[in-house]
Chain A
Amino acid sequence: MESARSDKPRPPLFRPLDHYRQRTEGYRLLPFRFMRWPAKEVLLVNDVGEFIFLEDQRFKAFVGHRLDLTDPRYLDLKAKHFLLDTESNVPIELLATKYRTKKSFLEGFTKLHLFVVTLRCDHSCHYCQVSRVSTNRSKYDMTKETAKKAVELMFRSPSPALKVEFQGGESLLNFEVIRYVVEYSQELNVREGRNLEYVVATNLVPLTDEILEYLRDHSILLSTSLDGPEALHNSNRPRKGNDSYAITVRNLQRAREVLGHDRVSAVMTTTKLSLGQPREIVDEYVRRKFGSIFLRSISPYGFAVRTGEALRYETSEFLSFYKQALQRIIEVNREGYDFVEVYAQMLLTKMLTPFPSLYVDLQSPSGAGLGAVAYNYDGEVYASDEARMLSEMGDKTFRLGNLHEEGYEEIFGGESLRALAAGSVLETLPGCTDCAFLPYCGADPIFNHRTQGDVIGHRPTSAFCSKNIEIIRHLFGLIREGDPFVKDLFTRWATGVRSEPMTRYKVS
């Protein structure tokens, strides 16, 4: 047997050495976008988010095919797939694999299912995006019949993981339907075998011991609102008795004791009043022992527009607030408290890792309808919660269908969603196609429609665009400043991994 093998002429295992030898006749440019940077530098970003800074002169030489093989940045450009100097297909295959990974948020289709179980609410928040109605109008509650249809439609989604988020109004005012959705979905899931997750968005006011025990027994997460210190929170979130802050803090503590500390998160909304208190807001979150904060600007929907609050500050004012708050967050981390800014974290994940963000506003095509869908209390289905808010204002452009009238194919395969998807591919949008930050950014066609009159939008005057560009530029700027603590912090946010001190590897 052994001799038979050795007698057989053996083809060469490797290609001739010349095949692997460095070509000297030049290189091809691989696709990338670029942006001028201060101090005569240029930022280059390729389609999979790899980036490199080049001095202006070196950039000119590079795009002019005059960069020498011995240039110290040549191999960096090659390793990061900005140039191709071999006949091998491997770099293209690697880029295709990375591109597929960057777009992996598309796998499984709609994962987040928002159940708007009621529009009733006891708060009268100035910025409320939800067009809330008062607490005693139960005609604004979702019925069990509608909830049943929504659950059944949700399971038509092919995703192996489904996230159910209960929204309002104040969602706990219709706890009976929350309970029904949880139990009916779990009943169906015996056969379906999906990974189900539940989140209740609530102001915590209606929280009872019975509700808490139920949430604990069914592993349900809570998400609440905390806008900052007491005076700011109560001003932003007025209710009868002016005691929103006291109730939130008290019930936050109760919820943590029953559910576990990390089972309750909070979000904040930036109002005009918030703009002058970036440090105080961050410090309030730290004092309440939260691990993160999501610095959100106000949205141009619902009650926020009717009260004029949406118009009360410019994007530039929000950006100034954001940068100050982020600076305070970095300080807090430097002082030894692990604390994350969620929006920066999502962007840094796209900037520093091969992975995408699951946040629908940072996806291309937009996650509206593709990644998330909203079932309104009345059975109407919308591409997102923002689309639902828009309909409350009389604009039903992004209505996908009705649970009682249309099936899965009509709702998710209809013209509304197709148009939304087609109009939200950044790679085809004017202004975005040239932008170096495209791989990190996302499309918000509903915001464009609301603020600029069409889903494509006008980039030079878009608040969404200027906000994202400036935040991404700021994050790059902080990375470029070279503070090792900030670089380590951002890497930790992006990857979830804390780099260990080198001493760990020393042999004693």
Chain B
Amino acid sequence: MTSMSIRDSQPTPVAISLGHNQAALEVDLTIYAERAVSRASYKFTDRCYLLLSRSEQPGWLKVTFGAKHEKQDLGPLLGEFCNELLDQQIRDDLSIEAGPIRDLIVAQAFAEGNLLDPQRDDGSYEDDALGIGTLR
């Protein structure tokens, strides 16, 4: 799910140095969702400038990092970004699996009726479907 693939014998995402105060990562979109890349990038916007663009290689996304000040070392940020990307991918997988249940919980919380078992609200205790009254 979140394992890294290898391109040109390098761990992916692939880091590319763009020279002075800039660096880039290329991310394999068969492993990471665009949403995960976008959310990971947002979390770094206080520490550097970021740009998402299509990579020259089909199916890859390029994340370009720009330093916010002259002496900023972007190296550690790239490593942290890769870890954040893993967490964001887990969150994305979670939202796919549990998102519909979350919607149902919120809808049920504010619903007048019973969304989970509508027939229960239509029933009448007088019908005594389980025959509880016969035990008396």
Contacts and interface: CB of A to CB of B under 8 A. Distances in A.
B87 A460 contact: no
Contact of B116 (A92, A430, A460): A92
Contact of B109 (A12, A29, A103): A103
A92 B43 contact: no
A31 B102 contact: yes
B116 A100 contact: no
Nearest to A466: B46
Interface in A8-47: 8, 10-13, 28-34, 36, 47
Given A5-B134, A460-B45, A93 B116 contact: yes
A93 to B, nearest CB: 6
A10 B128 CA distance: 11
Interface string A86-113: 0001001101110110010000000000
A36 B90 CA distance: 12
Nearest to B83: A36
A263 interface: no
Interface stretch (B6-14, B19-27, B52-60, B92-100): B92-100
B94 A32 contact: yes
A30 B39 contact: no
A431 B94 contact: no
A193 interface: no
A63 B87 CA distance: 11
Contact of A461 (B46, B87, B94): B46
Nearest to B100: A31
B94 A29 contact: yes
Nearest to B44: A460
B68 to A, nearest CB: 11
Interface string B36-79: 00010011111100000000000000000000000000000000
B42 A431 contact: yes
Contacts of B88: 434
Contacts of B46: 458, 460-461
Q: Specify which of B44, B98, B99 lies most central, judged by the most chain A CB atoms within 10 Å of its CB.
A: B98
Interface magnitude class on chain A: 20 to 34
Contacts of A461: 45-46
B105 A96 contact: yes
B42 A460 contact: yes
A36 B88 CA distance: 12
A13 B97 contact: no
Nearest to B87: A36
Contacts of A34: 87, 90-91
B5 interface: no
Interface magnitude class on chain B: 20 to 34
A89 B105 CA distance: 11
A458 B101 contact: no
A383 B31 CA distance: 45
B90 A63 contact: yes
Nearest to B43: A460
A501 interface: no
A241 interface: no
A106 to B, nearest CB: 9
Nearest to A8: B134
B73 to A, nearest CB: 19
Nearest to A462: B46
A64 interface: yes
B136 to A, nearest CB: 8
A28 B1 CA distance: 16
B102 to A, nearest CB: 4
A33 B1 contact: no
Given A29-B94, A31-B99, A36-B87, A92 B45 contact: no
A458 B42 CA distance: 9
A32 B131 contact: no
B105 A99 contact: yes
A29 B47 CA distance: 33
B117 interface: yes
Contacts of A30: 98, 101
B43 A31 contact: no
Given A11-B129, A95-B105, A103-B110, 5 more contacts: A32-B98, A34-B90, A47-B102, A93-B108, A96-B108
A-B pairs, 8 with minimum CB distance: A460-B46, A96-B108, A31-B102, A99-B109, A31-B98, A100-B109, A89-B116, A96-B109
16 contacts: A8-B134, A11-B129, A29-B94, A31-B101, A31-B102, A32-B98, A63-B90, A84-B101, A89-B117, A93-B108, A93-B116, A96-B108, A434-B39, A460-B44, A460-B46, A461-B45
